Structure 1
Amino acid sequence: MSKSTPATIALTKAGVAFDLYTYEYDPGSERVGLQAAEALGEDPRRVLKTLVVMLDGKPACAILPSDKEVSMKKLAAALKGKSAAMAPVSDAERITGYKVGGVSPFGQKKRLPTVMEEAALAESYVFINGGQRGLQVKLAPADAVKALGATAAAIVAD
């Protein structure tokens, strides 16, 4: 497994401190984020998943705990849009340059408007996909928000 991905390169260029962790990716897993949390021995609230959505017809990114579901209404409001829906897998892969299961918010082909679940900022560290299936970066959540120019908002479904 390569430890150098567009995500790790982008984080290094941004001067963000991070550690890399690898785990055995299970392509048959129903919920990739929860499988990553279990494989890493971490609480799912600290292992964040990256979702690509279409916000008023344009791509955007949502980052939230792997054991939660996103509220499309809250996400749209956080990014000052009207409506949001999950992007089809083929679109998400084309837009980001990553394969689903390895989508990172860092180092995407084009920087997307991004929102991170604000509850994640209360954690001392979080894990976010490092741009490859089975690769996670561990970093301070505030550093992730800063590196991404992201918005922090409550986007988890009730």
Structure 2
Amino acid sequence: MGKKKKSAATPAIRQLEDANIPFTLHEYVHEASDEGYGLEAAKKLGYDEAQVFKTLMADTGDERVIGVVPVNGHMSLKELAHAVGAKKAEMADPKVAMRESGYVVGGISPLGQKTHHKTVLDESALNFDEILVSGGKRGLSLGVNPHDLLAVLNATTAPIATQKKSY
């Protein structure tokens, strides 16, 4: 008996497949730039920036939590903390985010993370039938219905995106 061949799919893709959640794959050639990974994805894939979401990890002091917000905005740490019942939150160290998610910065997906964290999706996602999130590597996005994303992640929604100074 040989070893079972490991799928080329990312953990994010495997989580959706295992849960029988329909999704679409969107690949593009990632190029280093100053515009940000999510903005690059929206531009190269031809999607509205409000429909493409980035995944950020914050630390409340008691736990790390995931915030998923549109790439054309920022995440309010105050609102994220409020959404999970914490007094405050600060951005997690990128090294911690990479270690606990299993992904590299710019390719962190809310799906298939090594360590499960509470996840909060910005409520604006519910304005769309499909949103894009990272597929688990730079240059790969997944199109998924936000209600399906909430279900598979056991996530909640809250108004955590802002244009004010934050992340």
Identity fraction in percent: 38
- 3-state DSSP of counterpart to 1:115: strand
1:60 to 2:65 alignment: yes
Unaligned runs of 5+ in 1: none
Structure 2 distance, partners of 1:138, 1:68, is: 19
Q: Deviations over 1:84-116 (max 9, x none)?
A: 111111111011010001100100001110000
- 3-state DSSP of counterpart to 1:45: helix
Unaligned runs of 5+ in 2: 1-6
TM-score, normalised relative to structure 2: 0.90
Q: How does 1:67-106 map to 2 (within 5 A)?
A: 67-106=72-111
Aligned to 2:3: none
1:134 to 2:139 alignment: yes
Aligned to 1:112: 117
- 4+ residue runs of structure 1 moved beyond 3 angstroms? none
Q: Which has the larger radius of gyration?
A: 2
Q: Deviations over 1:10-41 (max 9, x none)?
A: 11111110010101112333421111100111
Aligned to 2:41: 36
- 3-state DSSP of counterpart to 1:130: strand
Residue from 145, 150, 162 that aligns with 1:157? 162
Q: CA RMSD in A?
A: 1.3
Aligned to 2:30: 25
Structure 1 distance, partners of 2:135, 2:34, is: 18
State whether residues 8 and 107 of structure 1, in contact with CA within 8 Å, keep that contact through their aligned partners in structure 2. yes
Residue identity matched to 1:7: A
State whether residues 60 and 114 of structure 1, in contact with CA within 8 Å, keep that contact through their aligned partners in structure 2. yes
Residue identity matched to 1:112: H
